[in-house]
């Protein structure tokens, strides 16, 4: 059995602060503290990707959200299935990309760059085969359907 990764555990605590308790600012402060501890972009790509993905969600400015989402995508490009497995994650790295592209699609949509939004929508859709038929897969599929409808109307 794999021991819990203390960094991922702390990131999950910040996600809980934000998503379950609605405490964006305390989550953002915790994420900033962890970011410094892991060495920012030079940290373990798993930590960088997961933390940047979470940090994007607590940004008030869509331009800042975009910066964090791009960091998450870049770091995910350095991940391996073995690293995910060592962290106790059963999914392959390629299953992360639909969510990352979905977030980028939404950022570009918010910023009015609909061409880039549609590009990331296509990339997310292209990776959907990597998702399982589980809660995570359904969440991403529903998100893609929702944003595809928004882009089609915009």
The mean pLDDT values, 10 residues at a time, for the chain of 154 residues are: 78 94 94 97 96 96 97 97 90 94 96 97 94 91 94 78
Position 140 scores a pLDDT of 94
Q: Which two tokens stand for residue 47?
A: 């930590």
Give 43-102 as a DSSP string: S-HHHHHHHHHHHHHT-SSHHHHHHHHHHHHHHHTT--HHHHHHTT--S-GGGTHHHHHH
Q: List the structure tokens of 39.
A: 């060495």
Cα–chain-centroid distance for residue 96? 8
Residues 9/34, Cβ–Cβ less than 8 Å = no
CA angle 100/21/4 to nearest 5° reads 60
Question: Six-digit token pair at 75?
Answer: 């770091």
Confidence at residue 114, expressed as pLDDT on a 0 to 100 scale: 96
Is the distance from CB of 105 to CB of 121 less than 8 angstroms? yes
Confidence at residue 88, expressed as pLDDT on a 0 to 100 scale: 86
- pTM for this entry: 0.91
Compute the distance between CA of residue 149 and CA of residue 154 in angstroms, rounded to an integer: 9
Count of alpha carbons within 13 Å of 59, Cβ hemisphere only? 19
């Amino acid at each position: 059995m794999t021991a819990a990764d203390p960094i991922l555990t702390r990131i999950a605590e910040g996600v809980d602060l934000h998503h379950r308790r609605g405490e964006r600012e305390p989550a953002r402060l915790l994420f900033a503290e962890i970011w410094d501890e892991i060495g920012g972009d030079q940290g373990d790509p798993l930590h960088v990707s997961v933390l940047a993905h979470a940090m994007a969600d607590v940004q008030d400015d869509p331009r800042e959200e975009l910066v964090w989402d791009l960091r998450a995508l870049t770091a995910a490009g350095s991940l391996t299935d073995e690293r995910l497995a060592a962290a106790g994650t059963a999914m392959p790295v390629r299953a992360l990309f639909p969510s990352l592209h979905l977030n980028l699609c939404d950022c570009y949509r918010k910023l009015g760059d609909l061409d880039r939004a549609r590009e990331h929508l296509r990339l997310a859709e292209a990776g959907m085969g990597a998702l399982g038929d589980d809660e995570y897969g359904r969440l991403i599929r529903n998100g893609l359907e929702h944003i595809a409808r928004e882009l089609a109307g915009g």
